[in-house]
Amino acid sequence: MSARSFAAWLTVVALCASSSLGCREEHGDDPPIAPERNMYDSERYNPESYSQFFPDHRTMRPPVEGTIARDRYEDDPEVATGLLADKSGYVMTIPATFVTRHGGMEKILARGRERFGIYCAPCHGLTGDGKGMVVCKRDKATDPCQSRGFAPLPSYEDPRLRQMPDGQLFATITHGVRTMPAYGAQVPIPDRWAIVAYVRALQLSQMAEAKPPQVEPKPAAGPEGDRPQGGNP
């Protein structure tokens, strides 16, 4: 047999073999040949299918009564929404239950600083002055802001934003406001509160008035202070 006819014969054999074995994506009544079944075809229920095992025959089991989704804070509506439990207004400060649950303010602030840098600073700027790189074009960091035409952003120094309840800041991140997009889908609840804490820290640090420190005059040395140590009275 010549090399060429041998190659042709080999091709025919290969084609026959592959057509009789079939491929995974092909539909047929015969089970596919899987040499190593193992976890390839593990036992499972299809959604909404019938179960012989459970008395109500539902394969989709309802969660055990009292189950709480860990990341939704359903047990703590103030943390979940930033609204007072009776929904009459926003919570004024970050709920204390949240702070204890998340290992204290220092840890929360560190996380908030990082998340703020990712999710807010591009528009609001690292200091919260509303002049982030989305808003301002600059060749050097020290150049003045050249608007790119983005909606103007308020500075966090704005007295209205300084007085805004923490819960409203939280809700602003969750739902967005006017031209600001919502970040509830990207930023989970604990990170939103952490960002709120960091915005508060920014407001305090950026808004400190530049005035010389007040030095308390030393109280005039009284009879106690004057008394010589160990001397004769």
| Residues making contact with ligand HEC (CB under 6 A) | 119-120, 122-124, 134, 151, 153-154, 161, 169, 172-173, 177-181, 183, 187, 195, 199
DSSP string, 150-215: PPP---TTSHHHHHS-HHHHHHHHHH-BTTBPP-TTTS-HHHHHHHHHHHHHHHHHHT----PPPP
Amino acid identity, position 95 = P
Closest to ligand HEC by CB, 99 vs 161, is: 161
CB of 74 to ligand HEC, least distance (A): 23
Please, which residue, 95 or 132, has the CB nearer to ligand HEC? 132
Length reported for the chain: 233
Least distance from ligand HEC to the Cβ atom of residue 161, Å: 5
Phi, psi of 220 (to 5 degrees): -55, 135
Closest separation in Å from C-beta 188 to ligand HEC: 12
| φ/ψ bin of 38: left (φ > 0), alpha (ψ from -120 to 50), beta (otherwise) | left
Residue closer to ligand HEC (CB basis): 11 or 147? 147
Q: What is the smallest separation between the CB atom of 169 and ligand HEC, expressed in angstroms? A: 5
